[in-house]
Chains A and B, each alone.
Chain A
Amino acid sequence: MITIIDYGLGNLASIANALKNLEIPYEISSNVDILKNAKTLILPGVGAASQGMKNLKTRGIDKIIIQQTKKGIPILGICLGMQLLLSSSEEGNVDCLGLIEGEVKKFNTDLKVPQIGWNQIKYQNSNIKNQKYKPKIKKIFQNIPNNSYFYFVNSFYCNPKNKSLITATTDYGKKFCSILIKKNIIGVQFHPEKSRDVGLRLLKNFYESSLSF
């Protein structure tokens, strides 16, 4: 079962719908006891990092996420959820969960607005080959060809310190990290739940790979 973390931000219904369509068992929870026992986590998110971290902290969920991921529980961070995994964000100058060393940065300080719509992912093959993560995680990319289009709506992007964690990049005037993976932690900048068949495939692959953790 996938546990979608409810911390007051994020399009939980869209993700739930996607999992329902895929016939993947799921629950949505903000309860720390339930989250402590979760086998697989999704950290969704739409909005600002400062609000996100505030919400996670007031509910005590930040500590649980850190605790569980250190135990090896697989977690998929989506959009803002991915960004909160990093050390800090320029959006609101806020400290985040710190599970991945690095900063969340704004695309271009002159342009005020987000990218919105489909954009392509390009696998960083050398990083994929050299990563020491379990082969089970490679299942996430099964049947998702290079240059697949996913739905993005973001003004900020993740800049991990360890570049070898960057599994795929996307070009938006500047190449940025669209997928990062560190052992059991997966972050995607796009919204797989809004990315048609490839997005659903990614969610299905994530779930199936999580079963063997």
Chain B
Amino acid sequence: MLIIPAIDIKNGRCVRLTQGKFDDITIYSDDPVQVAKGFERDGADLIHVIDLDGAKTGKPTNLYTIKNIIKSVSIPIQTGGGIRNLETVKILLDTGVSRVILGTIALEDEKELIKILKNFAYQVAIALDTKNGKLMKQGWLKNSDKNIVITAQKLEKFGVKRFIYTDVTKDGTLTEPNHKEINNLVDNVSVPVIAGGGISSISNVKRLKSTGVEGVILGKALYEKKINLSKCMKIFDL
């Protein structure tokens, strides 16, 4: 199972929000590149980088920082936040990003999504960000009112190869993930699911592993030192 550390970028800085609220923000570092290097040193196989400004505005805003991260580490990077069309997907993949994460576009522009999947199905993961079972979009500021499982199954039919699940209400709270919803999602789709949002302990991670997720995303738990990344990787190496 992949243990994936997260770096959220706002104004070029490495931050964590609570429940996606832009006014509930903690800045952890002025230098996301150093944070990425640290994760690489700890043994990470993949880093999850989110452009928060991009997610809010609908256009990648921290591309410069993302490029620097890619230049500075040799492990794959997956990134999301404001990627809304095929052109932007191409730009990011050319930059050296391993996988792009699409959220809003899967809910608002199926035609564009299908175009993207036609060329890059294996380089795309769809973000399923939920609030009470309904999918959020546009930087988690708008509610699409769409049901997570129904939408996921539809997207799978379009050729989506991977999902990344986050419970918005749990994200950044250092409580625990939404196990019930994650279980339900994994049981009702056949492609890999990466899960995150609220993970605060090794036992949370253990439970997610038995659920059958492909990977887990760790955010605040790492920054607040509730989970030690290299220790965690050793435990779940198998």
What is the chain A residue whose CB lies nearest that of B214?
A: A118
Number of cross-chain contacts by CB at 8 Å: 45
Chain B contacts for A116, CB-based, 8 A: 2, 45-46, 76, 98-99
Q: How far is the CB of A197 from chain B (nearest CB, A)?
A: 10
Could you tell me the dominant secondary structure of chain B's interface residues? loop
Q: Are the CB atoms of A114 and B214 closer together than 8 Å? A: no
Rounded to whole angstroms, the CA-CA distance of A117 and B2 in the bound complex is 8
Residues of B35-78 at the interface with A, using a CB-CB cut-off of 8 Å, are 45-46, 76
Q: Are the CB atoms of A117 and B238 closer together than 8 Å? A: no
Rounded to whole angstroms, the CA-CA distance of A18 and B238 in the bound complex is 7
Residues of B86-104 at the interface with A, using a CB-CB cut-off of 8 Å, are 93-94, 96-99
Chain A contacts for B214, CB-based, 8 A: 117-118
Rounded to whole angstroms, the CA-CA distance of A17 and B96 in the bound complex is 33
- Binary contact track A102-120/B, C-beta < 8 Å → 1, others 0: 0000000011111111110
Rounded to whole angstroms, the CA-CA distance of A165 and B27 in the bound complex is 54
What is the chain A residue whose CB lies nearest that of B123?
A: A111
Q: Are the CB atoms of A113 and B96 closer together than 8 Å? A: yes
Tell me whether B121 is interfacial, beta carbon within 8 Å: yes
Size of B's binding interface in residues, CB under 8 A: 21
Q: Are the CB atoms of A111 and B76 closer together than 8 Å? A: no
What is the chain A residue whose CB lies nearest that of B98?
A: A113
Rounded to whole angstroms, the CA-CA distance of A11 and B192 in the bound complex is 23
Tell me whether B20 is interfacial, beta carbon within 8 Å: no
Chain B contacts for A17, CB-based, 8 A: 237-238
What is the chain B residue whose CB lies nearest that of A193?
A: B238
Chain A contacts for B98, CB-based, 8 A: 113-114, 116
What is the chain B residue whose CB lies nearest that of A13?
A: B237
Rounded to whole angstroms, the CA-CA distance of A119 and B122 in the bound complex is 9
Rounded to whole angstroms, the CA-CA distance of A111 and B237 in the bound complex is 27
Q: How far is the CB of A155 from chain B (nearest CB, A)?
A: 10
Q: Are the CB atoms of A173 and B238 closer together than 8 Å? A: no
What is the chain A residue whose CB lies nearest that of B77?
A: A113
Chain A contacts for B84, CB-based, 8 A: none
What is the chain B residue whose CB lies nearest that of A171?
A: B122
Q: Are the CB atoms of A194 and B238 closer together than 8 Å? A: yes
Tell me whether A149 is interfacial, beta carbon within 8 Å: yes
Interface residues, chain A, CB within 8 Å of chain B? 11, 13-14, 17-18, 21, 110-119, 149, 153, 171-173, 193-194, 196
What are 5 A-B residue pairs whose CB atoms fall within 8 Å in the complex?
A: A111-B93, A113-B97, A114-B98, A116-B98, A194-B238
Interface residues, chain B, CB within 8 Å of chain A? 1-2, 45-46, 76, 93-94, 96-99, 120-123, 162, 192, 214-215, 237-238
